[in-house]
Amino acid sequence: MTAREALARHWPEYLIEAWGLGTFMVSAGIVATLLGSPRSPAEDLLMSPLLRAALAGIAMGLTSVLLVYSPWGRRSGAHWNPALTLTFLRLGRMSRWDAFFFAVAQTVGGLLGVLLVAALLGESFTEPPVRYAATLPGMSGPLVAFAAELVISGVLMFVILMFADRPALASYTGIAAGCLVALYITFEAPLSGMSMNPARTFASAAPGAHWESLWVYLSAPLLGMLASAQLYSMLPFGRRAGCAKLMHSANVRCIHCGYEPPRSHTLEARRV
């Protein structure tokens, strides 16, 4: 399939990927401002940093789950992340042009989401300590942040594959991923800022010119996921064929594995 053919046939999925990360960044920006800005009443009401981190984790974990299980998330596959997309490409579960346009759409969508929050919340979001909800290395420095991003991204990828490839667990893939997001934000964020997503970090870095240690977030998530996928594929239970969707539905087409819903499902979906 050529680039033109991919755009003509699959542009709805590309737009969904842009919408997904854009929506996630809007949620992340609002949550970061509410819990982190000195102008927010939460600064005085919630004195414990761990409590604020836990609340942020719960909020973003729920956001992730809702996006995965949304009708649009079920259609595109709910990647929202170039590292995840490129790992599925490496596994042979999606085409190269779909992966390319997914990554471009995710990057643009994430950036637009951050710009929208900046326009709505102004300096409460753009000024320190929130700083566009940027993901930056913690006090331990960029090398520790790199190692942390490598590990958490690898674990996320392994869990996604473990769940998505098994019929008994597949419907819980989004929940498992959301739980990991919540746990990582609560406990790992002090090390790396908790990104796992090059497009997510770029979306916050570009408007505020926070380019320091950007290499960590462009490389570690992808390397971690690729290594995890390689390990998974070497295991006996990891050699089965799979799809690039986190959540498969009987009434939604899949551009990755070629599934087309039966006519009865299609008509039912249109009525809804």
The 10 Å Cβ neighbour count of residue 205 is 23
pLDDT at 239: 67
Per residue in 121-137, pLDDT tens? 999 999 999 999 999 99
| DSSP output for 90-128 | HTTSS-HHHHHHHHHHHHHHHHHHHHHHHHHHTHHHHST
pLDDT at 267: 43
Mean pLDDT of the chain: 92
Sign of the dihedral through C-alpha 138, 139, 143, 148: negative
**204 near 129, Cβ under 8 Å?**
no
| pLDDT, tens digit only, all 272 positions of the chain | 899 999 999 999 999 999 999 999 999 999 999 999 988 887 677 778 889 999 999 999 999 999 999 999 999 999 999 999 999 999 999 999 999 999 999 999 999 999 999 999 999 999 999 999 999 999 999 999 999 999 999 999 999 999 999 889 999 999 999 999 999 999 999 999 999 999 999 999 999 888 989 999 999 999 999 999 999 999 887 766 788 999 888 889 999 988 888 865 544 444 44
Sign of the dihedral through C-alpha 85, 89, 93, 97: positive
Distance CA 111, CA 18 (A): 9
The 10 Å Cβ neighbour count of residue 41 is 9
Count of domains forming the chain:
1
pLDDT at 66: 97
pLDDT at 271: 46
pLDDT at 248: 83
Work out the angle at residue 41's Cα, subtended by the Cα atoms of residues 35 and 44, and round it to the nearest 5 degrees. Answer: 85
One-letter amino acid at 30 equals I
**Residue 237 burial (C-beta neighbours within 10 Å; 0-12, 13-18, 19+):** exposed
The 3-state DSSP class for residue 46 equals: coil
One-letter amino acid at 247 equals M
pLDDT at 77: 94
Work out the angle at residue 200's Cα, subtended by the Cα atoms of residues 24 and 178, and round it to the nearest 5 degrees. Answer: 50
CATH number of the domain where residue 176 is located: 1.20.1080.10
What would the two tokens of residue 232 be? Answer: 């998974």
Q: How far is CA 102 from CA 7, 68, 106, 118, 135, in A?
A: 11, 15, 6, 24, 22
Domain span at residue 156 reads 3-271
pLDDT at 45: 78
